[in-house]
Each structure stands twice: as structure tokens, then as C-alpha cells.
Amino acid sequence: LARAQGCPVSAPAAEFDPFGDGYQQDPPEYVRWARDKEPVFYSPKLGYWVVTRYDDIKAVFRDNHTFSPSIALEKITPTGPEANAVLASYGYAMNRTLVNEDEPAHMPRRRALMDPFTPEALKHHEPMVRRLTREYVDRFIDDGRADLVDQMLWEVPLTVALHFLGVPEEDMDRLRAYSIAHTVNTWGRPKPEEQVAVAHAVGNFWQLAGSILDKMRQDPDAPGWMQYGIRKQQELPDVVTDSYLHSMMMAGIVAAHETTANASANAIKLLLQHPDAWRELCEDPGLLPNAVEECLRHNGSVAAWRRLATRDTEIAGVAIPAGARLLIVSSSANHDERHFTDADFFDIRRENASDQLTFGYGAHQCMGKNLARMEMQIFLEELTRRLPHLRLAEQQFTYVPNTSFRGPEHLWVEWDPADNPERRDS
């Protein structure tokens, strides 16, 4: 119909709605038609160009000059004057961090802050991740039923994120509420009434981030990525700015926490939906690293990312004007038959699983990817070893409506505690 009226937007493109149930339940399935027939389309509802195929998305990620990441954290739904006034009342001034910084500022900052992410540096965090995971599993192992999101997968990555950043373990529930508000604020579509409550939470989060940073400045030799940044600021004040540190203090918690919590919940859900794969992992933990990659490919926690076209260009033969906003649906790339054979099939032995684009690609590729992988692997190691008889409970999965961050809000699992190996063996 839209075409018949002379509009260049096709009917499914006109209907595309990433806040509706279709996208929320299964983003790659929801845009299958686009991958097949109209791989780059304009969404009038969103005001974005949507990119859905693997090669095109990789090319967009690769060229961060033509496709600027500056809008990566921009509010996808602009807030109204009331919410803006609330944010201003808290002195909210979230600015560029790394993920949304353009060149030439980005690369020197990324290099200056990279050392804490090397494999040797990350090894120091492994015992803490394992200890926390065991403690949380201990709490529910005899219960026979648990919501893994509420009882483990939310708080463990949050605690790991806080340790990694160097933040004292304080007020987790407050941080938890704040980071949900931040997700809705950035990637969601809150109604005007909701926007004001969200703005208060985000404003409080911003101020808390500022006060935590002030405390850190008193003891800059303490361990932590933020303290590392504070020390680097002495050496490179133009590269590691005050604005960067305050913004990263807040954005860093979200980057390191929710992404990993969601990825872990998605992975466990997916594995329990494929009991043969779960059983294989229980029998052979050597399969875990590739299984983690396949989970990130098949059902990762970042469904889509954003870029801004800085000049007139084209993607897959479609003209893209300067100033165009792009939603690059990386979860759709991960299900592209042109790159992954039998792409919808879940195969923990898939050879090219690690080609997944859930961590992005190129100059901005996720710096924390190996920390996230380590956490996911440890969660799966501990659960397959201690609860091999785990199964999914009957439930409806719900998601916080937004374009990008994706994971079930709850993940109910069940098992018979009488069959726990550690009970049988003791």
C-alpha cells in the first residue's frame, strides 16, 4: 500500500517497530524478511535506517569515520521538557566515553586504558568470579527451584563489574535500579509519566557516580580500571579528561554489568532449551569456550547497535544520506545464512561461531569481551558440574522493551536436590 501511494518505504518497513512484541521476543526472526528481501530499509516509525546482513554490518563497523559511533548512547526516544528539566536539576552531563567517541580522540584513549583488559590482567579476576559464583550457587542449591536472574546472574556480574572498575561494593540494589533506568533512558520508549521517574533515577545515578569518583581520587593507587584511568590522567590529561572519567564511571557499570548478566541468562536459557547440548557440556567441559561463542551468536545480549552516517554513502546499493541514523541489527547478522550455515541451528561445535558480531567489530569492538567470556564460562562450568540435572521451568519470558540490550527478566529453573551430585557423593 505504501508503495502504491508513491512512498519509497515498503509495507513491512513501514510497520517495523523495535519496541513491539515481535522484535522483543526474537529480533533476528522479526527482521528475517529484511535479510531476505530488503536488507537495508528506512523505518519511518523509528527514523532510522535499518541494516540486517552480516557483510553490510561488518563493513559499517569497520568504517568508523563514515559511520560515526557518536549516537551509540543517545536517547533513542527523545525525552520531553519535564524529564529534561529533572535531569538538568541533577547537573546531568553524560558525555562521550569510548564507545561513542569519534576519532581522532577515541584511539589514543582506548590505547591508554587497555592494559587492565589484557589476558594476564584479567587472570587476577578469575578467582573472585569463581568464588562469587560458588557462593551464589550455595545459597539455592538445595531449593530445587530458582530464578537464576534474580538469585545469581544479576548480582554476580554487577559485583564483578564493580570490582573491575574499582568501586567499593556498596548499595547494589540502588545501582541495580539505576542501571535499569539508564537502559530505559537510552534504548527504550518510556511514556512521558515514566520519563520523569526514569530521569530522577538517572540523575541520582549520575551524582552517585560523581561521588564514587571523588572518593577514588583520594586513593588513586587502589586496584581498579577507574583508578588506572585516574593515574593515566596525570600523564595524559587531554586524553583522559574529567568528563570522560565521570561519564565512564556511570556508563562503565552498565557496559560491564547488564550486557554480561543478560548474555549469561540468554546462554543458560538457550542451553536448557537444547538438553542434548547441555548434557554434552556436562560430560565435556572442554566444549564450553565454543559453546559460549555459539550462545553469543545465536542469542547474544546486544541485539542492535547504532551509527551515524557522516557523509553521503551507500550500503548494499542503497543510498544513505549524510546525517542518516543507522540501526545495525547485529543479532540479524548473527543469523545470516550468507555467513553462518544453517544459521538458526544451535550448534555448540560450530566452527565459525566466534565470527559473531555481538561484541561489535573493528576500532570500537568491546574491550571487556574477554572478561565477559570468562564470567559466562565460569557460570556454565559451575552450573553444569553442580546442577547437571537442571531444567527450565514452565514460564513466559519477558524483556525490558528496548532496541539493544536483551535478556529475560527472569529465568526460572528446577531440579531435584536429592539428585545433586555433591549430595550423592558425600
In the complex, the residues that contact ligand HEM under the rule CB under 6 A are 61, 69, 98-99, 110, 164, 255-256, 259-260, 263, 300-302, 305, 358-362, 364-368, 371-372
By beta-carbon proximity to ligand HEM, the closer residue of 120 and 416 is 120
Q: Quick one: how far is CA 141 from the chain centroid?
A: 28
Would you give the DSSP letter of residue 80? P
Beta bridge partners of 306: 327
By beta-carbon proximity to ligand HEM, the closer residue of 123 and 279 is 123
By beta-carbon proximity to ligand HEM, the closer residue of 9 and 167 is 167
The grid coordinates of residue 18 equal: 523495535
Q: What angle do CA 164, 168, 170 make, to 5 degrees?
A: 120
By beta-carbon proximity to ligand HEM, the closer residue of 264 and 420 is 264
Alpha-carbon distances of 53 from 10, 30, 157, 325, rounded to whole Å: 18, 13, 31, 17
Alpha-carbon distances of 197 from 78, 86, 113, 191, 308, rounded to whole Å: 15, 9, 34, 10, 29
Burial class (CB in 10 A: 0-12, 13-18, 19+), 14: middle
Minimal distance, residue 70 CB to ligand HEM, in Å: 11
Cβ proximity of 132 and 403 under 8 Å: no
Minimal distance, residue 25 CB to ligand HEM, in Å: 19
Across 259-343, the runs of DSSP E, i.e. the strands, are 305-309, 313-315, 318-320, 325-328
Cβ proximity of 22 and 30 under 8 Å: yes
Q: Mapping DSSP to helix (H, G, I), strand (E, B) and coil, where does residue 6 land?
A: coil
Beta bridge partners of 414: 145, 391
Nearest Cα to 298, choosing from 346, 258, 259?
A: 346
By beta-carbon proximity to ligand HEM, the closer residue of 259 and 332 is 259
Q: Mapping DSSP to helix (H, G, I), strand (E, B) and coil, where does residue 307 land?
A: strand
By beta-carbon proximity to ligand HEM, the closer residue of 203 and 257 is 257
Minimal distance, residue 152 CB to ligand HEM, in Å: 16
By beta-carbon proximity to ligand HEM, the closer residue of 333 and 390 is 333
